[in-house]
Amino acid sequence: MDSAEHLDELFDIVLQGRMKLAGDRTRLALAEGVTADEILHDACIPAMDEVGIQFERGDKFVPEMLVSAKTMQEIMKVLKPQLVSEGSISAGTMVIGTVSGDVHDIGKNLVGMMMEGAGFSVIDLGVDVDPESFVEAVREHHPELLGLSALLSTTMPALAKTILTLKAAGVRDQVKVMVGGAPVSEEFARRIGADGYAPDAGSAPRVAKALLGIE
């Protein structure tokens, strides 16, 4: 196969979530001269973009999106050493976590996978993350994006408290803050001073790229 055929095949593998084929087909493409950067930017990221679009349109559902994201992760396991040697640059860095008092992680994990699929480096702080830990992560990692998740209405105040803590620490202007979770709305996000709101994992990369001015 030529490069275009390999890229088309890998696009379909990610889009359809054909996880068992992901590693072998990626290794074959690399062996036949396709670069890791081409696989990432011309097959995987466009495929995950399409997954997000289909999810927002109602043509795909969470389980299918999750399988596509895991398929992308299988490809990334093969690509990572190559990408490092090629010096490929990511779309940016995102620190993500579920706020203090909340231990739900399925939505956060899926957002992280979708963001990785869009070419971002993701640093996951886990669940029940206190505001000070988010501040420390911003200082340590200098991310372009900070993702705050809350699944319980009782932990929504922790979203606001985290943003206030970022301001008090003098790091709020260094990062774009995205919020999301079942009880969160766009109006609430605006009210607490967040930069962006993603209603679901499928839309998170699109919102992130819009915040950063990435095509």
* Residue 205 domain boundaries: 92-212
In order of 18, 95, 138, 147, the CA distances from 175 in angstroms are: 36, 10, 8, 10
CATH number at residue 72: 1.10.1240.10
Same domain, 118 and 62: no
What pTM did the predictor assign?
Answer: 0.79
CATH number reported for the structural domain that contains residue 139 in this entry: 3.40.50.280
Of the residues 86, 112, 134, which one is the last residue of a structural domain?
Answer: 86
**Distance of alpha carbon 213 from alpha carbon 158, whole angstroms:** 28
Take residue 174 and report the two structure tokens written for it. Answer: 């260094």
Are 192 and 139 part of one and the same domain?
yes
Same domain for 100 and 58, yes or no, is no
Q: Residue 32 and residue 142: Cα distance in Å, rounded?
A: 37
Alpha-carbon gap, residue 120 to 209, rounded angstroms:
10
- pLDDT per residue as tens, the chain (215 positions): 899 999 999 999 999 999 999 999 999 999 999 999 899 989 998 999 999 999 989 999 989 999 999 999 999 999 988 876 766 667 899 999 999 999 999 889 989 989 988 889 999 999 999 999 999 999 999 999 999 999 999 999 999 999 999 999 999 999 999 999 999 999 999 999 999 999 988 899 999 999 999 86
- Judgement on whether residues 61 and 82 belong to the same structural domain of the protein: yes
Task: Kindly state the helix (H) or strand (E) to which residue 124 belongs, with its residue range.
Answer: strand 120-124
- Report which of 57, 53, 29, 32 is spatially closest to residue 42, judged by C-alpha positions: 29
